[in-house]
Amino acid sequence: MTTSTTPWAAPVARGPVSAVVELPGSKSMTNRALILAAHSPDGAVLTGALRSRDTLLMAAALRALGIGVEEDGTTWRVSPGTPTAPASIDCGLSGNVMRFVPPLAALADGPVAFDGDPHARTRPMGPLLGALRDLGVAIDDGGRGLLPFTLRGTGAVAGGTVVLDASSSSQLVSGLLLSAPGYGKGVELRHDGPPVPSAPHLEMTVRMLREAGASVETEPDVWRVAPGALRGGEWKIEPDLSNAAQFLAAALVTDGEVTVRHWPEHTTQPGDRLRDLLALMGGEVSWSAERGLTVRGTGAIHGVDVDLSACSELAQVLAMVAALADSPSRFRGIGHIRGHETDRLAALVTEITRLGGDAEETADGLVIRPRPLHGGLFHTYDDHRMVMAAATLGLAVPGVEVENPATVGKTLPTFTELWTRMLELS
């Protein structure tokens, strides 16, 4: 984990921001494409891939399993190979690595050990480990259902039907589905529990499996993936739309205009919800194939009452916008983010309150009541999105000092440079 001891002084906007931003590739798509490529007998090429801590950890995990990954800027090549053991996997703080790689590693013949950053040892893994056990995979986890643990594969997984509660993370479903084509009978996965969050990420998994040649059938809370070899070829990775949140929010906060280039017309990325959410909060939103997605501030920021269960990764930046609004906001459907990189609900309430705001947790989200805010140290809890949230607030609140800005390396290593440049050119 990258740390920096000197806080970053979040820049205050000198006036309306006017900027055109180009973002690196989607972490979610890059990591899914790497797993699917590892299952292809032909390998694959990824163009527009994201180079960040999470994707580099995924590439390192594949290499540890004997699968070749070569990086050349944003073009990555995955060589075909069969997972091998023994191996040790460092998950860092990546939910993708800790939940996508074990189903692949189960195909190795021998032990594969998994561990990660200290907070990674608190992130829910029990449902996935239980499902793998039901499919015949031996796992040593001391009964904790958490990192660290060791898989003891036999070179094959029979597959079949499993039932799990994926209400804590859609990644528990995606991880099994991505490797299901390599199992003898494939997988029929049934979810039993409260609703699975982040439905667009499940749609992304299913779409990418189908693009790779997998046979996938779905019905509510049921996914069936048939066994079979996957195609290689080329994956074109879209820009990471979730990482656009703070840039587009800057238009509302400063009454400016920000365009994110290459925004797809149709996508399964949860970040596409920004179109609707920022419009509800007072922005004018437009899209064109030539320019991308543009948000214009209108001089007002409105409070909202919205369900963010499908796009919870937007909650932190939107919470900062809500703290600057003209009326209270309620964000619902995000209780599960207590188990993300940090307890994100507690972190948001603590930091908004520290700077003079009024925020409280509910059973499944947050209520934010705008109040005058002041500067101070904004703790980020080793969470990349807390850094981005603090920067958003700092546009309008002088004196916000952001702890450990280097943690953005998880998904957007160039964030502070992009942010500073956006303001300098405005």
Catalytic residues: 313
Distance CA 201, CA 207 (A): 10
H or E element that contains 176 = helix 171-179
**Among 24, 25, 21, 22, which residue's Cα sits nearest to residue 235?**
25
DSSP 34-56: HHHHHH-TT-EEEES---SHHHH
- Sorted by sequence, the CB contacts under 8 Å of residue 281 that are 6+ apart come out as 252, 301, 302, 303, 304, 318, 321, 322, 325
381 contacts 350 by C-beta, under 8 angstroms: no
H helices within 255-288, ranges in order?
274-280
- Whether the CA torsion 33, 36, 39, 42 is positive or negative: it is negative
**Among 58, 52, 57, 314, which residue's Cα sits nearest to residue 178?**
58
Parallel, antiparallel or unpaired: strands 75-78 and 44-47: antiparallel
> What does each C-alpha distance from 281 to 28, 169, 241, 311, 367 come to in angstroms?
26, 27, 18, 16, 15
H or E element that contains 384 = helix 384-394
Half-sphere exposure for 114 (CA within 13 Å, toward CB): 33
Distance CA 45, CA 75 (A): 7
Q: Which amino acid is at 243?
A: N
